[in-house]
Structures are given as C-alpha cells and as structure tokens.
Structure 1
Amino acid sequence: MTDRSAPGGSGVQASGAGSIGVGGDVGVAITGDGARVVMLPAEAVRWARDVDAPPGAANLPGSASGVFVGREDELARLRRLLTDEGEAAVTQVSAMRAIHGLGGIGKSTLALHYAHLHRQAYTLVWWLNAATSEQIVTGLASLAMRLCPQWAPTADVPERAAWAILWLQWHPGWLLVFDNVEHPDDLRHYLGTLPDGHHLATSRTGTGWHAIAPTMPLGLLDADAAVSLLCTLALGEGQTPSPHQREEADALAAELGYLPLALEQAGAYLFETGTSLADYRTLLGQVMDTAVGGIDPERTIARIWRHTLTAVEHRNPQAVTLLDAMAWLAPDDIPRTLLAPLSPDTRTLGEALGVLHSYNMISFSADRQSVSVHRLVQAVLRHRPAAGPDEHPPGRQDTEHLIRQAVPTQDTNAPQWERLLPHVIALAVTTPPHSPASIETAYAYHATAQYLYREGRDAHSIPLRTAALVHYEQVLGDTHPHTLTSRNNLALAYSEAGDLTHAVPLLEATVAQDVQVLGDTHPDTLQSRNNLAAAYYAAGDLDRAVPLLEATVAQFEQVLGDTHPNTLQSRNNLASAYESAGDLDRAIPLYEATLTQYEQVLGDTHPNTLHSRNNLAYAYYAAGDLDRAIPLYEATLTQYEQVLGDTHPNTLHSRNSLASAYESAGDLDRAIPLYEATLTQYEQVLGDTHPNTLHSRNNLAYAYYAAGDLDRAIPLLEATLIQRKQVLGDTHPNTLTSRNNLAHARKAAETVEQPDTANPATTPDLQHPSAPPDQPE
C-alpha cells in the first residue's frame, strides 16, 4: 500500500509490490509487460497523487436517455458479476468482465448503459477505444488532459498515458471500459498494473479471453423486446402501433434477426423516410449501409461487418471464402460436410470455421458438426455486387458447386435429403437477377423438387421448380422438351398449392407448346393435357374438364394402350370429374374398372392403386353406401400406413376421408379424435396454410358443429375461411364451402338447423410427365 503525504510535502515512503514512492522521477510501464517504460518528473507524479476527479467524472461517448429495451436482465447480471469477487474478480481487489458478441448485437450499448446507470458508484468512468494497443494508450492519455491540464499539454502521449496509470493507481474505485477489443492480450498489462477498480471490455471475438478475464456472451433480443424497440423507433415514442403494424414489425424484426443495431438502423430509416415496414423488408440488404438522422455513418451494420470481415481475412482468408458461401444457404444447421469441398482438408476447414466463430460470425451446434450464421449477415453479404455483368456475386458460384455435389444419388436417402433441403431452397430463392445459368444447377433443383413430389409435398417445391425453369429457359431455350417438362412440373406444384391462378395459364401454355414441339399425340403432350383437365376440375370448371379428360383418355388408349399407368391415371381423373358432376352411374363403374387394372398392372399396394381405391371408397360414400365405403377406407388406410408411412400426405388424406365416413355414419366419437389427430399431422407435415390442411381444419370444424359444439366450431370456421381466402382466393369452390358452413354455424347459434355437408372431395392424382435425364444436353 502507498502512503500519501500532504500536498507540498517532502516525500513519501512506499513498500509492497507495485507501490510508488513519490519524491523523484518515476518510471511507469504503459504497454505490455513493461516493454515501454516512461519516466515522469517528480512534479507530474505529485499531481497524479494529489488531483482528485470531480464527482461523476466520465468521458462516455453517448447518452443513456435513448430507447433501451430488452437488456434489463443483462444489466443486472453484469453488475452482479463485477461486484461479486467470488465469481468475477481477476485479483483480490479488482473485477473484469468481457462482453462479446456479433457486431451490432449491442455490446457497446450495454456497456454504455451500465456505465451511466452506475456512474455515481465510481470515482471515475473512462471509456477507451481498444481496437489496438496504440488506441488504448491514446485513450489513457486523454485522461491526463482532463484531470491535469496544468501539466499534460506540455507532455507527449506516452507521458500522459503513464500519468493516467499513476493516477488510477492512487485513486481506487474507478471503471475503465475497453471498447471493441480486437486482441484480448492487449489488456493483460493493464489488469496487472491497475488492480483497484473495475475493467469492462467489449469485443467481437469470443476467444483469447480464458487467460485474461471471464466472458459474458451477449445474445439477440427476444422477439417481444425487438418488436417493441422497432415500433417505438419507427413510429415515434408515445405512438401505439395498430395490430397490422405490430404484425408487420414482428415480420421485419424476424428478418433483421432481432439484432439491436439493425433494429435501430431500420427504425430510424422508417421514421425519417416514411417507408412502410413491409416495403423495408423488400429493401433489406440494400439499405444496411444507409445512415439517416441520428445514425453514425461509421456504425451502420454493413460497415461494421466490413470491418469485421477485414479482420477475419487478415487472420484467415479461407474463413471469408466459407462465409461468402454460407451467405447463400439456409442460416441454420449448415453441415460441415457440406462446406468441406471448399477446404483442402479437415484441419484447414476447422481452423477457418474457428476464426469465424471467434468473431461471432457463426455459431456451432452442440455436436459441432454443423454451424449457423445470422440471417442478416447473409443478407448483407448477398447484396455485394458481382465483379462483372456475367459474373456471380461473391460466394454464389462456390455454393452452387457445393449443392450440386451434395445432392443424393439415391432417391431413398431421406435423412440426407431432409438435411440438405432447406439449403437448396435457400439457394434457389436467393438467385440474383441476371445470374449466369447452369444446367447442372437446374438439375440439382429438379432432383430436390422430385424428392418433395415423391414425399407428397409438391406444393413446397415451387421455388425449386421456378429456379430450375429459369435455368432451362436460359440454357436450352423456351421450347426445348426439358424446358416444357420443367414448366409442366411447376404448374403442377402451383396446382398442389391451390394456386390455380398460376397453374391453369401455365398448363394451357405448356399444352400449346407441347403440341407445336412434340406433336398432338406425344405422351408428354397427353400428360400435360391430362394435367390441364385436372386443374380445370380443381377449379370447379367441369364444363371444360370433362370433355378434355374424355378426349385425353381416348388418346392415351390409342397411343399407350388400355392398361398403361398414364392411361389409368387419366381414367381415374375422368371418374373423379364424373363424380363431381353428380354422375355416379358413370363414375363408380369407371373407378371399379380402373382399380382392377391398377391392381393387375402396378400391384395391390402401389401408391397409385391405393389412391384409386381411396377414390372408389369415396364414390361409395357419395352414393350413400357406407357399408362398402367404410371397410374400404379402413383397409386402404392400413395399406397407406404400411407402404408410405404414418405421416405421408396421402396417408393423411386417407385418414381424413375415413373420419368423414365415420361422421356421416353418425359415429362422432371416432370421427372427431381422428380429425384432430389428422389436422395436427397436416400442420406439421404440410404447414398451416396448405390447401389440404385447410380442408382438414374445415372438416374438423364441421364435426364440432355436428356435435353441437358451436363454441369450438365457429372460431375454427372463421379462421379457415380467412386462410382459404388468402391462399385460394375469394371465389374458389372450397372458399365458398367455408363461407357457406360458417353462415350456417352462425345461424345455428340462434336457431337449431343442420348445416350443408362439408365432406371432402376427391382430388385428382396429378402425375409428372417423364422427368428430364440427370444431365440433359
């Protein structure tokens, strides 16, 4: 401990490690391990001992009066960690905590608010830019200018920094904030030299601290706090967002990844420009380097991350290559094996990923076999320009190469497909305008879409089929057979999604081009014509569907024969159209004959046979013959579960149909639980707004209604109607059914009345024409 003499005294005696004796020149080390020792004159040393800081002295870089939400728990935790020596102290009398996280996550903001909140608890609060050791020295030197203006202006920077270190040694109870530490080891000397206060560091890097200080990783804001912050900044304090605005803010906050600086930047932009929350989402990536009033141009998200990438590239150029590639993939669960081809060996890959992880640009999964990257980092990286008009943007070509290599060669490798699926879709939906086309990439999209088709999830393949079609058109031309096949497949995906507005015109155009290029009776022409008729059927346009199906069946029989699978499929669709037209006298015999032929040609348990059997059961059901319908439904469902699995969409459709038959037989005790289980599975497998999910939800609501449970029926019918209008359109037949059922349910709340039936209609089984070969020429 150092003895203090009265001002003007002749000197002091000192003892103990690190003590300072005042009365002559003193040498002070100002950088690492005493490498730079600065001699201070006795007069300066006396000033260091005798000058006190004024109350609340600080040099904080901003006010704490701005909007600050969602970090109250972190503030309290930081205070506990700095004041609880048992948990966070570096030495017996000092405490140090390093906050680390992704650039823009709010590390400096948290430190600033902590410093303001507890300013009066410290003798001094001093903020130091700490990206380099030289900046730390400069920051310390500014403390001498503040506290000792009678001497400091005549001294150089190292002398002022040395004086500041002496002052801090003499005057305990301060807080030093080291902001944006690039190299944790730069702080080692100051922690050892300055033991009598609190040190708080912020850093983009989370590694290198184990020998310096405990760390406190800072995560993203929670969703509610992020939405509140965005609404306050975008609309102005005191303004209450409407439900629609809050919904839009919720979507935008998710797009921004709940990153505080991005939310602040977006809110300021929205407030100043009057841009809507929805429109800002379409501009994302283009405006991340735009500073408006109140935003420091050097503190935009894009600029901060450019600085981070420069630091990363300086340490490991391979890391930037990997991050550029990851920008075009899904943000979560990126397998290391997918990235491996970009590195010569496992060690190089691990080292590059390690650098990205140290800068918080990626995070590892628990087993460290996959990584995740913040979605906004991806958005910023994707919007960098290409080197030339015919070039890919940075990382894009590498990612396409990775996806092409990763596409499974075996159709049955479901786990591999499922893990790859989100990354192929992400690549497809982020295709830049005028990006160079590639047949190999088109095939990767097509192969992935075909996997979804086989799994009964063709509606989810739309982005893949759209991207594949663009590549085929650019490379092969508008009327190449593979282009026509791709266009037909996209139309079928639209039809499966209930988007007949896109499906019907696309199929009409495809049929016309098939006739011109392939001829009127080519099998692919006939299949496209069959699919167009099925789309007319789905749209409720039986006047066009029935004649077209009759003509197509006749042509299939002539060209491919009476028992070809495509002939049977078209015949099954014709039976469905007869049934929808109320002509059961023609529908049931045609279904029965088609089913017999399916069993002979494809076998008893082929998915097409099962679909035909399910449709025949519905025809019996529509004819009121439940004695034949229910056993056939039950047998078919059992076979679906054995062949396709418990949650395949075709299995769910069959289960839904059986529940309807139970309901019609008056057996609501079996119908309602089966409906409920089926709806839950539809939501999990196909999503909340898939047409089949909506169909299942409508039927469950009707069953509640039939059971007299209007409290559950009406809200479910209302929600289904809203979703059907959004997904299918206001005049789609299923939308009209929902509207009719809801009207009856509301009326039944006042009077006892039986509603119209809401039984599920059979759906024509749409099949793809022959797929293009693996590598079309």
Structure 2
Amino acid sequence: MIRADQPLPGQATASGQRAIASAGGIGVAISGDGARVIVLPPEAVRWAQDASTPAGAGNLPGPASGLFLGRDESLLQLRETLSSQGEAAVTQTRAVHGLGGVGKSTLALHYAHRYRTEYTLVWWITAESPDQINAGLAALAGRLCPQLAAAAEQDERAAWAMLWLQWHPGWLLVFDNVVDPGDLRMYLGTLTGGHHLATSRKATGWYAIASTMPLGLLDPAASTDLLCALALGAQDVSAEQRREAGALARDLGYLPLALEQAGAYLYQTGIGMDTYRQKLGPMLARAVDGISPERTIARIWDQTLTAISVRDPLAVTVLHTLAWLAPENLPRSLLTHLAPDLHTLDEALGVLHAYSMVSFTGSGISVHRLLQAVLRARRPQDSGASPPGRHEAEQTILLALPSDQESVSAPSDQWQRLIPHVIALATSTPPGHSPDDAINSYLATAAYMRRQGQDVRAIPLYETTLAQREQVLGDSHPDTLSSRNNLANAYRAAGDLRRAIPLFETTLAQREQVLGDSHPDTLSSRNNLAHAYESAGDLRRAIPLFETTLAQCKQVLGDSHPDTLSSRNNLAHAYESDVDLRRAIPMYETTLAQREQVLGDSHPDTLSSRDNLAHAYQSARDLRRAIPLSETTLAQREQVLGDSHPDTLSSRNSLAYAYQSAGDLQRAIPLFETTLAQREQVLGDSHPDTLSSRNNLAHAYQSAGDLQRAIPLYEAALAQFEQVLGDSHPGTLTSRNNLAHAYQSAGDLQRAISLFEAALAQCKQVLGDTHRVTLIIRDSLDDAYEAARVQQRSTATLPIVKRP
C-alpha cells in the first residue's frame, strides 16, 4: 500500500469527517482528523470496482424474530421517507431519536430485516464515535475484500469501503446510537447511492444533517399485549391478568425496553405483576436471561447521565429534582432557584432535552415517569442524607406556594398548576424520610383543595401528613388527631366508608380520652361519625348520635354557633333520610333562618341549608316551593363556588330531579346529562354521587319511555353500586329496585321478579320488615307477580309464580 501524509489542497473538512475520490485509478481519502490523505493503489481501486456482494450480505446484530408490537405504522413511515424520491442516486436519510429504551435500534433492526431484499447490502455500524464508524466501515471492507483485509490497516480498509459504496448503489447503512449528528455529515454528503438510517438519543443537532423521526411510546393496548405475551407466555390471559398487565404497563410508561425487561423477569421468576409494581425502581436495574446487564433500563440511563454530567453537572441536579415531582407540565419558573441565573438554567434544560431526558410543552417541562422511578430508587452513599434531588424538590414546592396571607386570594390557575406536583411529592416520600418542611406545603394545599370541594384529590396529602405526625408527634397528639379526622373525612367524601368509619371511630375514642367528652373537637368527631353512619345507611346508629351531638353543641357552644347549626342541619338530614319529614322540614327551616342571620345569605353553609330545604319540600311533593328554591340555590352556588364544585353539582342534580317530579323532562334530562358528565370528570367514575347521577339519568330516560338507554345505564349503575358500596347498601337496594322496574317495563318479567325478590330479601334483612323502602319493594314485587299471572294466562309460557 502507498500512503501519503500531506494536506489535500483546496479541501476543508470538519474533524471526524472523511471524503473519498478517484482519479487515474488511484483512490484518495481524507483522514479522520481532516489533516491527512490516504491514497489507494490501482489494484485496490480495481478490487473496489469489481467486488460484488454475496447473496444476503449484511451484518445485522440479531434476528427480528422477537415480539414486535405496535410499530407497524412507524415502519411504514420510515420506508416511505427513505423511498420517497425514487431515484437511486439520491440518498434519503432518516434519523430516529428518542429516550433510551424507546426502541430506536429495534425499529431499525426490524426495518433492515423486513426490507433487506430491497437492498444489495445491509450494513450495521455502531456509531457512538468517529472511530467506531471508521471501524464499522473497515469491517465492511474485510467482508467484501478478504485480500485487502490481510494487508491494509483500518484507515485504509475504511477508505476502500467508502470507494466501494460510491461505485455500488442500492445499499442500506444503519448508524446505530449516534452521539454527535455531525459525525455523519461527510458520509451522508459523499455516499449518495443508497439509504442511511441513523438512531440516536439526541433530539437536537439534526436539522442540517437529516430529517428526523421522533419515536414515541407504545400505545396502552399494544403495551398490554406485549407484556401479557412476554410474562404469561402462551397461556390464556384472564380479564384480571390483563387488568394487572395494563396497570404495570402504565407504570412502565409504555416504554418498550422496560416492558421487555419486566415481561422477561416476570416469566422467569413467576412473581406477580403487582409485586413487581411495588418495587418498580429497583426492579429495573435487574438483568434476566436473554437481556444483557448492559441493556437494562437503569444501565442505559446511567450511561446517558454520565454523558450529561460531563457536559453540564447542573442538568443532572435538575433531572433529579424533576424525579420527585409530577411527570408533566412543570412550569420552568419553578426551577429558577436551582441556578444562578435563567440563562444557566435554560442551558441545563437544553442539555436534558438534547438527550431526550425531558420534553418541552406549551405549559412546561415533562419527564418520563419511568425515568422518575429509576432515579427515585437511587440511594445516597451517606445513609443519613436525602436521596438525590429530594431536598431540591421540596424546596421547589415550598418556594412556589402562595404565602399564608396570599393562599386564600391566590389565583385558581396558580394552585391548579401546583397541585399535581405537591401530590407527587407527597406520594413519592422515601421510606424513613421525614419531610418536615414539605408538611407545610401539604397542609396549605389540602386546605385550598378542601375549600374547593376537592377533598378526594387531597387524600395522598392527608395520608402523608398523618404518617409524618404519627412518627414525629405521637399517636394521640391533637395535631395527629386532626390529621386522622381530615383523612377520614376525605375517605368519606370519596365514598370509601370501609376505611372512613373505623378511622372516625378511632379518632372519636382518642379525642374523648385526650380532650374530654365535650371539647369542640370531640363534638366535631361525634358529628362526623354520625354522618358516616348515615352515608352507610345505618340510621339506627346515626340518628341517636346526631341527637346527642346537637344537645351537647347547644350546651357547650350555644344555640346559634356555626357548629351547632351544622349539627342541627345534619340531624334534619338524617330525619329526612328516615322519611320523617314532619321533623325534618321545620328543623331545616329553623337552621336556614339562623344561618342567614349568623353567616349571611351567600355563605356556603347557608346555601347548603337552602338546598337541603328545597330537597325536603320536593320529598314532600311541595314543588311550588321546591323548584324556585332549587333554582335560586343553583344560581348562587354557581356564582359563589363555581360551575364544577361538588356542591354546585349537587344543586344541579336536585333541580333536575325537581323538574322531573314536575313532569318537565325536556329540562330535566339535559340537566341530568350535564351533571353526570361533570361528576365523572370532577369526582371520578365510581364516586357514590356519580353513581347516583347515573341512576337518576337512567330513571329520567325510563320516564321518557327510552328503555334502550335506560336499562344499560341502570345495569352499569347497579354493578358499580355493588362494587363500591356493597351488596346491601340502601343505594344499592334502590338501584336494584330501579333496574327491576325497567326490566318489567320492557316486558322481561322473569328478570324483574328475580331482582325484586333479591332486593326485598335484602331490605328486610338490612332495613327491617316495616321500613318504607321495604314496603315499596314489596308492592313492586306484588305488581310484577300480577303482571306475570296475566301474561301467563295469555301466553302460557311463564311458570306459575307465588309470593314467598
């Protein structure tokens, strides 16, 4: 071989770029540093011109026989881009970038396998550095020209491969895991006879190199399919297993490599998916048969973090801070305390974005939730120190919260932007970590959410606060008892009475012991427990407790104290629930008059009294007083509380029911539909109030003669009542009775009678043989029996039915 170390006149190149040319049978290449040329002799040039590719020539790193779900559209998009020009002399380039583990290399591998017959040669090059690219091209020369490989050095073999690629079109070069897009500039500009496909974790730097194809996550259905196939093998997948797989796939963020790693581990160890979820962060660092330890999610991201820390150590701090907050839409302004100035912060975020570790949205910064799980699982070398980023995250929230003076008047959108991040901080508290400073942010946020009727969303804040106070203050400290009471109230608001009632009972017993029987906080606990009993349909325990509490409130606090008025209102409501309107209505009227005088006309408690009185009038069939009062209350609640506050939704539901009672279905049905949609959004699909709305809308449809819409809605409501409140809850019994009526209206007497009989048996057991609801259902069953006898006489198809 002949080598010449001299500059190439008139040619400027960037570091790490090479060019190749031929003249007079001599091949000339620019060296990797742009300062030398490599000259190939005539025989090497002839070999490059004459060498042909063996059938199926290529060096793909693995087969494409594994599961590959949810990426067909990406494959077609990739093929269309690479082939769009239709001219062999024009190289179509495509860079596929995304977060480590998203499946860039897998997509490139499947593309190469699927379309390999369309190319004369498919060559895979590891492209993390210019030297690796050079080595990959040298290996190509060794494959195509063994006689050259025996005599030439690596640079010469790479130069020969470049010359061969120029003379032989129709190939595909895959540059895998490109770190610096600039490393490909000369290759893409010089080699124009085939296709270039690059993969990279870098999202930036491609605009002057190649068009880009950001590769997203798998969709939920494909992720669940992949996880089931990997973890459960060929066995039939039950609905419960698929539900668990869907939940794990969601926790894994629909990231393909994480799904593959989890599925393989589950299949190999036989552990349950819920167990894997509970230890998600550490699990992602574990290797398993078939997956190299270097390819675990944790290892891949470690490599990226190492590269980032070299470029900008602040970027690593920012990323660790983001790990403890909500994964989406963190306002950039919240992170300014981490950097000396905004420009420095912007540069750190830019580095994270370049490596696909964060993304930018119109409303803030987002980070993949699985990356958060891996980062949270890291523990500091000093066992007494906080995990990386935890202290910074707590300070981020504390600095962003409105002050005590501003908390009430702070704009709603300011709170709404912060709430997801406060909740994420609370739910990610590391074991053994005492978030003393963060507790203040949890309390302030929970107080705002309570004012907005969002106690259900605040449950994680109440749980974390209670755990911290039990640990620091002790089990019976007054602040601990307040936290326990707040959590129980939130459980009750969520309809979770199985957790709420025992917590209320415990709190009451402790307050009686610590504070005394007549302390205002003890009275509050007693009232809350009675309310929970009523919510559970246990009026035999609720009413005496309400009566006792009211008597004590009047004695200790006075007749017009707000707490006394609340107690009187609650007792009236219990009387109404027990269908004792002769005692309920006067008590409601008295309470409303006192609240108007003491609290004012538009106070939320006054509005509650007004709404309750309207409902009682409606129960008494006094619609002339009920409807105007309901309309007034709804308008006031919309103005004072907002359109989607739970109390506003309650007023809207009450007014719709009043319209229906008056026979005005044209106004009732749209109002029921609106209320149901809002409750599903605000309270959730299975909240008791949402279930009541679903039942009420079904009843309105039935009243309008639309059984096709009524029956499925009744069935859905009953199934959810049974699941959420239990089989014998009064709400469940009412729902069962309503569905039976709908079946009877549809002529399906066999199902109607069966449902009536079940409802009657449960009512007699739970409510007693003489309870109003029991009597109503008995009458309904008698009507169904009579209808069945008539039908049996006319068709002779139904069996004789007898009342039990």
Aligned residue in 2 for 1:58: 58
Aligned residue in 2 for 1:384: 378
Give 1:332 shift.
1.2
Aligned residue in 1 for 2:508: 511
- Give, in whole Å, the separation in 2 of the partners of 1:92 and 1:339: 50
Select the residue among 198, 209, 212 that pairs with 2:209.
212
Give the 5 Å matches for 1:589-608: 589-608=586-605
- Give, in whole Å, the separation in 2 of the partners of 1:671 and 1:121: 65
* Residues 317-374 of structure 1: per-residue CA shift (max 9 Å, x gap): 11111111111111111110122222221111111111111111111113xx511111
- Give, in whole Å, the separation in 1 of the partners of 2:629 and 2:90: 81
Q: Judge conservation of contact 1:443–1:468 (CA < 8 Å) in 2.
A: no
Worse overlay, 472-481 or 692-701: 472-481
Q: Judge conservation of contact 2:527–2:545 (CA < 8 Å) in 1.
A: yes
Paired amino acid for 1:342: L
Aligned residue in 2 for 1:162: 159
1:203 aligns with 2:177: no
Aligned residue in 1 for 2:775: none
Give 1:18 shift.
5.1
Aligned residue in 1 for 2:783: none
Select the residue among 95, 99, 102 that pairs with 2:96.
99
Q: Judge conservation of contact 2:602–2:640 (CA < 8 Å) in 1.
A: yes
Aligned residue in 2 for 1:417: 415
Q: Judge conservation of contact 1:391–1:436 (CA < 8 Å) in 2.
A: no
Aligned residue in 2 for 1:772: none
Aligned residue in 2 for 1:272: 268
Give 1:573 shift.
0.8
Q: TM-score, normalised by structure 2?
A: 0.86
Select the residue among 316, 340, 355 that pairs with 2:351.
355
Worse overlay, 274-283 or 423-432: 274-283
* Residues 479-523 of structure 1: per-residue CA shift (max 9 Å, x gap): 222221111111110111111111111112212222233232222
Paired amino acid for 2:116: R
Select the residue among 392, 399, 407 that pairs with 1:398.
392
Give 1:708 shift.
3.2
Aligned residue in 2 for 1:226: 223
Q: 1:187 to 1:230 in 2, by over 3 A?
A: same
Aligned residue in 1 for 2:37: 37
Paired amino acid for 2:435: A
Give the 5 Å matches for 1:27-176: 27-32=28-33, 34-85=34-85, 93-176=90-173
Q: Secondary structure at the match of 2:123?
A: strand
Q: 1:194 to 1:672 in 2, by over 3 A?
A: closer
Paired amino acid for 1:472: R
- Give, in whole Å, the separation in 1 of the partners of 2:270 and 2:707: 44
- Give, in whole Å, the separation in 2 of the partners of 1:631 and 1:751: 39
Select the residue among 566, 582, 585 that pairs with 1:585.
582
Aligned residue in 2 for 1:370: 364
* Residues 2-26 of structure 1: per-residue CA shift (max 9 Å, x gap): xxxxxxxxxxxxxxx95314666x5
Aligned residue in 1 for 2:452: 455
Q: Secondary structure at the match of 1:385?
A: coil
- Give, in whole Å, the separation in 2 of the partners of 1:241 and 1:491: 38
Structure 1 alignment gaps of length 5 or more = 1-16, 762-777
Select the residue among 661, 678, 681 that pairs with 1:664.
661
Question: Once the two structures are aligned, what percentage of the paired residues are identical?
Answer: 62
Give 1:648 shift.
1.6
Q: Secondary structure at the match of 1:251?
A: helix
Paired amino acid for 1:72: D
Give 1:92 shift.
6.2
Aligned residue in 2 for 1:769: none
- Give, in whole Å, the separation in 2 of the partners of 1:349 and 1:446: 30
Aligned residue in 2 for 1:301: 297
- Give, in whole Å, the separation in 1 of the partners of 2:142 and 2:107: 27
Give 1:451 shift.
1.6
1:712 aligns with 2:709: yes
Q: Secondary structure at the match of 2:197?
A: strand
Worse overlay, 239-248 or 672-681: 239-248
Aligned residue in 2 for 1:768: none
Q: Judge conservation of contact 2:607–2:636 (CA < 8 Å) in 1.
A: yes
Aligned residue in 2 for 1:553: 550
Aligned residue in 1 for 2:282: 286
Q: Secondary structure at the match of 1:647?
A: coil
Higher RCO, 1 vs 2 (CA within 8 Å, ≥6 residues apart): 1
- Give, in whole Å, the separation in 2 of the partners of 1:27 and 1:400: 61
Q: Judge conservation of contact 2:181–2:209 (CA < 8 Å) in 1.
A: yes
Paired amino acid for 1:148: C
- Give, in whole Å, the separation in 1 of the partners of 2:75 and 2:540: 69
Give the 5 Å matches for 1:359-758: 359-366=355-362, 369-409=363-403, 410-412=407-409, 413-438=411-436, 440-750=437-747
Q: 1:664 to 1:58 in 2, by over 3 A?
A: same
- Give, in whole Å, the separation in 1 of the partners of 2:247 and 2:36: 53
Worse overlay, 99-108 or 246-255: 246-255
Q: Secondary structure at the match of 1:458?
A: coil
- Give, in whole Å, the separation in 2 of the partners of 1:303 and 1:553: 63
Aligned residue in 1 for 2:21: 19
Give 1:82 shift.
2.1
Q: 1:304 to 1:563 in 2, by over 3 A?
A: same
Q: Secondary structure at the match of 1:547?
A: helix
Alpha carbon RMSD of aligned pairs, Å? 2.6
Give 1:85 shift.
4.0
Give 1:727 shift.
2.4
- Give, in whole Å, the separation in 1 of the partners of 2:472 and 2:37: 69
Paired amino acid for 1:19: A
Q: 1:688 to 1:241 in 2, by over 3 A?
A: same
Paired amino acid for 2:655: L
- Give, in whole Å, the separation in 1 of the partners of 2:41 and 2:265: 53
Worse overlay, 696-705 or 616-625: 616-625
Q: Secondary structure at the match of 2:456?
A: helix
Q: Judge conservation of contact 1:108–1:202 (CA < 8 Å) in 2.
A: yes
Q: Judge conservation of contact 1:390–1:436 (CA < 8 Å) in 2.
A: no
Give 1:638 shift.
2.1
Q: Judge conservation of contact 2:148–2:157 (CA < 8 Å) in 1.
A: no
Give 1:418 shift.
0.8
Aligned residue in 2 for 1:340: 336
* Residues 55-86 of structure 1: per-residue CA shift (max 9 Å, x gap): 22100001123222322222222223223349
- Give, in whole Å, the separation in 1 of the partners of 2:569 and 2:661: 24
Q: TM-score, normalised by structure 1?
A: 0.89
* Residues 156-177 of structure 1: per-residue CA shift (max 9 Å, x gap): 3333323322332333332211
Aligned residues: 734
Q: Judge conservation of contact 2:89–2:193 (CA < 8 Å) in 1.
A: no
* Residues 250-297 of structure 1: per-residue CA shift (max 9 Å, x gap): 333322222222222223233333344444433422321233232232
Q: Judge conservation of contact 1:437–1:475 (CA < 8 Å) in 2.
A: no
- Give, in whole Å, the separation in 2 of the partners of 1:135 and 1:421: 48
Paired amino acid for 2:69: V
Q: Secondary structure at the match of 1:19?
A: strand
Q: Judge conservation of contact 1:437–1:474 (CA < 8 Å) in 2.
A: no
Paired amino acid for 1:351: E
Give 1:129 shift.
0.6
Q: Judge conservation of contact 2:508–2:522 (CA < 8 Å) in 1.
A: yes
Q: Judge conservation of contact 1:175–1:198 (CA < 8 Å) in 2.
A: yes
- Give, in whole Å, the separation in 1 of the partners of 2:573 and 2:709: 32
- Give, in whole Å, the separation in 1 of the partners of 2:31 and 2:236: 53
Aligned residue in 1 for 2:14: none
Paired amino acid for 1:419: R
* Residues 461-487 of structure 1: per-residue CA shift (max 9 Å, x gap): 111110111222223222222221111
